[in-house]
A and B are shown apart, each in its own frame.
Chain A
């Protein structure tokens, strides 16, 4: 099965981030890199990435064939997606991996199964 590990961020996180030393921030970044390298090596990684600032997000809507694009930032968003890991492994292992994401210390990591093709004849 494939699982998407969502790394969230919110105002609290940004406050805490501001209070970290340079060394602590470096450890954080290295933790992500080490995890990606390890998952690449184990063959479990499909893709991972960190997302640019949510202010750079743009919303796209198509109405009557016409496309409108709205530039961010979008004020009402309390929590945003900061990064993701798409992995292929067992359910149990997906939780192990999620626990290794540095952001997990702040409870900002979520694991969601990706809908697969199933294996059944109905």
Chain B
């Protein structure tokens, strides 16, 4: 299938599904019908050309599939007649259907992996095989997650809600951020034809931002993704090893993405109440705006982490704030603060405490202590690239100039 048709189908998938669900309800049957219509289009359009009204073509094709499904179920004759009567030449889809669909895919009855899989399929228009490649799990697992998620939504009514859309926006943002992170942490540059989950998350978040331009947190998430993804080319070496922020070649950062991200977060902080995504985006913006590591405005970063600790406290926020304290007020004070929080149940035994302690000891000139804690952190991390980075640090601590 040609790339152009593929992109067009991904763009139209949620609109077509939205029209069907709004009209007929029954999310799961509609989703099946839309998938079949998309497959028919993917096979036909590259040969016959893209129809003049592609959305109308897909809506009509999907509705025919829906009728076929119901036709095989004689108890639904009357509904079938009602559908037949309503098949038109393809209505103008309501853009907001995408948000209603996202909300439905992030239904509270679903667990996060199911929300991710269903969002990528129903809103992103990805095939089960593409999602499986992106998430590094077998296709059967993804297929099962999707069919089970659809069954749960069916049990819950399977129709668009309207009153609860706004309250469920945080779940939608969380799912999109999960998709982004799945893609962002995947090793880059492998030869596999991987689905670009990062790009997909950005695309969907951009659509959401278009629907809710005044929502500060939607804007913040889009900015956070842009400002993080901007560093992608610099964050891994050829051999897949992680490059820490202060050692990255900043010439490889994507200046256009940074400019857009900075503009977005600056605008939203000026006009709406700050939330966790905006603050995290602001932190990423401060890092990205520094031409050299030593130009980083750590005072501003420390202030932002202090704000984040109030809005969305958590163990990682605590540790990142302490790293900022070290940059502003020196490693001794940061080590004192680390000792004070290390007994917090959320942090006891966490590898990141050891990693931060090693970093602080290293800056304080205690090479032996640093090496010891880098090793401890490496033994406890659950991330392969991070483990490698920590072992490298442990090996290099004694030889690096202080």
Q: CB-nearest residue of chain A relative to B147?
A: A43
Q: Is the CB of B382 within 8 A of A113?
A: yes
B141:A46 contact, CB within 8 angstroms: yes
Cα A41 to Cα B137 with chains together (Å): 15
Closest partner residue, chain B, to A113 (CB atom): B382
Q: Which residues of A contact B145 (CB under 8 A)?
A: 43
Check: B57 CB closer than 8 A to any chain A CB: no
Tell me the interface secondary structure of chain B in the complex. helix
Q: Assess the B385–A118 pair: CB atoms within 8 A.
A: yes
B186 contacts partner chain A, Cβ-Cβ < 8 Å: yes
Chain A interfacial residues counted at CB < 8 A: 18
B244 located at the interface, meaning its Cβ lies under 8 Å from any Cβ of chain A in the complex: yes
Question: Quick one: given A40-B144, A42-B148, A43-B145, are A116 and B383 in contact (CB under 8 Å)?
Answer: yes
Across the interface, do A117 and B148 meet the contact criterion of CB distance under 8 Å? Answer: no
List the B residue with the shortest CB-CB distance to A87.
B141
- Minimum Cβ distance to chain A for residue B273 (Å): 26
A41: contacting residue among B148, B235, B244, B386, CB under 8 A: B148
- Docked Cα-Cα span, A66 to B382, in Å, equals 35
Judged by a CB distance under 8 angstroms, whether A34 is at the interface is no
B148 close to A43 (CB less than 8 A): yes
Mark interface residues in B360-394 (1 if CB within 8 Å of A CB, else 0).
Answer: 00000000000000000000011111110100000
B171-210 residues at the A interface, CB under 8 angstroms: 181, 184-187
Instruction: Give CA–CA (A1, B383) in the complex, Å.
Output: 10
Closest partner residue, chain B, to A115 (CB atom): B384
Q: Does the CB pair B382–A116 fall under 8 Å? A: yes
State A89–B386 Cα separation when bound (angstroms): 21
> Chain B interface (Cβ within 8 Å of chain A)?
113-114, 117, 137-138, 140-142, 144-145, 148, 181, 184-187, 228, 231, 235, 242, 244-245, 381-387, 389
Sample of 15 further A-B pairs with CB below 8 A, known A43-B145, A116-B382: A1-B382, A40-B144, A43-B114, A45-B141, A46-B137, A88-B113, A115-B382, A115-B384, A116-B384, A117-B186, A117-B384, A119-B181, A119-B185, A121-B231, A122-B244
